[in-house]
């Protein structure tokens, strides 16, 4: 306890850091063994405000910032140096820092963290899993904490949720919905579970000259899919040659830890993004867990990889958590916004699923008994929030109807102001960010074919619509490059002026609970679902 006395007259409280345990969590005193556990911690520093404001303006205009403008948005070297030196001298193992200095990763024992950061640590049990976690906010000595905005990772039970749902209707004897015979599997069937050609036909992407060639699609998720599942999926959809080669998929274990087994999300993301853009390469950034510290480290890795992979202009993320569970606009939200801003400024469009629990997601992200809210990360104003629809096709792949899916996350952000570009027909009055921006098929009852663990499965959720849009973005960017033009910047300012045009199918029926689909923009399906050919013509 001596360190507490030393710092008691000169400490900086960090209110944006991890705070009290959530409702429903069981909190008990930590044992000595648990105090000896190691915890990964992220110290976040603010970027230069003037340079950051310039990036925000560039992104809001749909422009790509210069490398010099992006490089100028850094955290002060002096603040980072002082912090890392203090950590190293106080029992922390200091890991990598982000290139811009805004993220310093470190680890230490729970007991040392409690002493040095002046936090009360406890056992916190949530959803049947017990963690060592803080139940009070941390502090740093004043001369060390001057440049530190927040300390994150002290509550490892706070994690994002995956946005995918398996079909739960009648199944055949294998437990999956019956599929078309294998002989006909390479052709669009018009019946669920849908194949790639079904969505291509529905969304005006058939017969186009673009395949995503020269583009790279990044996927952020906790683990990687099995190569044999990818090969089976590509074969089922009639892909051959390089489109069916596992060499087009690179798997990056960001933390170098043992990855969890595949459970569907990672497989859905890769199979469908690679299916919509069969000429694109895929880079899967496996974070190892859905804890914020691990996801932040993966985002930093993606940013650092951009110079080596200039075609990596699209990123798909199918994760989220209700904004009311995040404790405000600081802390983790502010840390991730800085990373998303860097990506958007570099011309990377980040497509984030809006959620699968409608307008009132609970803490699990799968129940609809929570407060009226949208989910972060889809609500960040420098990403593209992707909602979901129920898509019904005829056997000839004609769209018989497309309505709002009841599970499509959407509504009004309480964390972010309304971006200047979010205007147009149907956009309601107000000063807060609206979610989603666009949509695509998501209903698991008319869901996607996913081959998982060697077996056919039917999966939906906005985890399906997000990678579909990432694949579409690869097609848009290839078309731009083929026309001798630069790849797209942040798409949202370019898409909203197209509301009501032939570039989108306006979804005018259906509800996600509190909000109704209607003409123009709505808080269930955004601008609607895409017509890829018309988007290419308009944006190229």
Domain-by-domain residue ranges, the chain? 2-152, 187-539
State residue 329's pLDDT score. 87
State residue 12's pLDDT score. 58
State residue 259's pLDDT score. 98
Domain 187-539 has CATH 3.40.50.11900: no
State residue 441's pLDDT score. 98
The overall longest dimension of the chain from CA atoms, in Å, is 76
Q: Of all helices (H) and strands (E), which one includes residue 14?
A: none
Which region holds residue 284: left if phi is over 0, alpha if psi is between -120 and 50, else beta? beta
Instruction: Render each residue's pLDDT in the chain as its tens digit; 540 residues.
Output: 333 333 444 555 565 665 555 545 555 555 555 556 899 999 999 999 999 999 999 999 999 999 999 999 999 999 999 999 999 999 999 999 999 999 999 999 999 999 999 999 888 888 788 888 888 889 999 999 888 999 999 999 889 999 999 887 654 433 344 444 333 344 567 899 999 999 999 999 999 999 999 999 999 999 999 999 999 999 999 999 999 999 999 999 999 999 999 999 999 999 999 999 999 999 999 999 999 999 999 999 999 999 999 999 999 999 999 999 997 888 899 999 999 999 999 999 999 999 999 999 999 999 999 999 999 999 999 999 999 999 999 998 899 999 999 999 999 999 999 999 999 999 999 999 999 999 999 999 999 999 999 999 999 999 999 999 999 999 999 999 999 999 999 999 999 999 999 999 999 999 999 999 999 999 999 999 999 999 999 999
State residue 423's pLDDT score. 98
CA separation for the pair 181, 234 (Å, rounded): 16
CA separation for the pair 75, 339 (Å, rounded): 13
CA separation for the pair 185, 199 (Å, rounded): 14
How many of the other CB atoms lie within 10 Å of CB of 258?
Answer: 8
Phi first, then psi, for residue 508 (nearest 5°) are: -120, 5
State residue 28's pLDDT score. 57
What is the SS3 assignment for 185? coil
State residue 176's pLDDT score. 42
State residue 328's pLDDT score. 82
- Cβ contacts of residue 463 below 8 Å, gap of 6+? 162, 163, 164, 165, 265, 268, 269, 318, 353, 356, 442
- CA 402 centroid distance within chain: 25
State residue 445's pLDDT score. 97
State residue 3's pLDDT score. 35
Residue appearing with tokens 């570099």: 346
Task: Judge contact between 133 and 122, C-beta under 8 A.
Answer: yes
CA separation for the pair 177, 303 (Å, rounded): 40
CA separation for the pair 328, 445 (Å, rounded): 35
Strand 26-29 versus strand 38-45 pairing type: unpaired
State residue 125's pLDDT score. 84
- Cβ contacts of residue 332 below 8 Å, gap of 6+? 150, 152, 158, 292, 326
């Amino acid at each position: 306890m001596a360190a507490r006395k030393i710092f008691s007259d000169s400490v900086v409280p960090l209110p944006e850091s991890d705070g009290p345990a959530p409702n429903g969590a069981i909190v008990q005193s930590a044992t000595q063994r648990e105090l000896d556990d190691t915890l990964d911690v992220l110290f976040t520093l603010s970027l230069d405000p003037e340079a950051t404001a310039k990036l925000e303006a560039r992104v809001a205009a749909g422009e790509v910032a210069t490398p010099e403008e992006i490089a100028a948005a850094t955290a002060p070297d002096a603040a980072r140096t002082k912090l890392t030196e203090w950590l190293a001298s106080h029992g922390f193992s200091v890991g990598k820092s982000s290139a811009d200095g805004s993220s310093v990763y470190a680890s230490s024992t729970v007991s040392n963290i409690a002493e040095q950061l002046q936090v009360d640590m406890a056992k916190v049990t949530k959803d049947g899993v017990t963690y060592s976690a803080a139940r009070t906010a941390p502090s740093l000595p004043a001369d060390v904490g001057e440049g530190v905005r927040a300390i994150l990772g002290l509550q490892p039970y706070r994690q994002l949720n995956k946005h995918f749902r398996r079909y739960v209707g009648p199944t055949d004897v294998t437990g999956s919905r019956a599929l078309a015979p294998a002989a006909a599997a390479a052709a669009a069937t018009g019946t669920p579970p849908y194949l790639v050609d079904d969505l291509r036909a529905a969304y005006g992407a058939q017969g186009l000259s673009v395949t995503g060639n020269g583009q790279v699609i990044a996927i952020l998720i906790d683990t990687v899919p099995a190569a044999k599942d990818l090969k089976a999926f590509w074969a089922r959809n009639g892909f051959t040659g390089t489109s069916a080669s596992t060499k087009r998929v690179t798997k990056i274990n960001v933390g170098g830890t043992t990855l969890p087994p595949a459970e569907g999300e990672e497989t859905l993301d890769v199979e469908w993004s690679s299916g919509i853009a069969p000429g694109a390469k895929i880079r899967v950034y496996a974070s190892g867990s859905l804890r914020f510290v691990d996801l932040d480290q993966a985002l930093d890795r993606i940013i650092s990889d951009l110079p080596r992979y200039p075609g990596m202009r699209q990123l798909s993320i199918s994760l989220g958590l209700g904004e009311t569970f995040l404790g405000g606009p600081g802390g983790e939200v502010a840390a991730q916004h800085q990373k998303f801003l860097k990506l958007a400024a570099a011309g990377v469009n980040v497509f984030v699923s809006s959620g699968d629990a409608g307008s009132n997601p609970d803490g699990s992200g799968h129940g609809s008994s929570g407060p009226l809210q949208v989910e972060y990360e889809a609500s960040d104003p420098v990403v593209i929030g992707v909602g979901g629809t129920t898509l019904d096709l005829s056997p000839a792949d004609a769209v018989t109807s497309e309505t709002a899916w009841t599970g499509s996350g959407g509504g009004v952000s309480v964390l972010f102001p309304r971006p200047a570009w979010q205007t147009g027909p149907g956009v309601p009055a107000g000063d807060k960010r609206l979610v989603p921006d666009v949509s695509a098929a998501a209903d698991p009852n008319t869901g996607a074919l996913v081959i998982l663990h060697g077996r056919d499965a039917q999966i939906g959720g906005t985890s399906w619509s997000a990678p579909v849009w990432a694949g579409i973005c690869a097609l848009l960017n290839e078309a731009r490059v083929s026309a001798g033009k630069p790849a797209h910047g942040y798409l949202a300012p370019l898409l909203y002026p197209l509301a009501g045009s032939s570039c989108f199918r306006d979804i005018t029926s259906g509800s996600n609970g509190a909000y109704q689909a209607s003409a123009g923009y709505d808080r269930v399906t955004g601008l609607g679902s895409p017509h890829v050919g018309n988007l290419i013509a308009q944006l190229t």
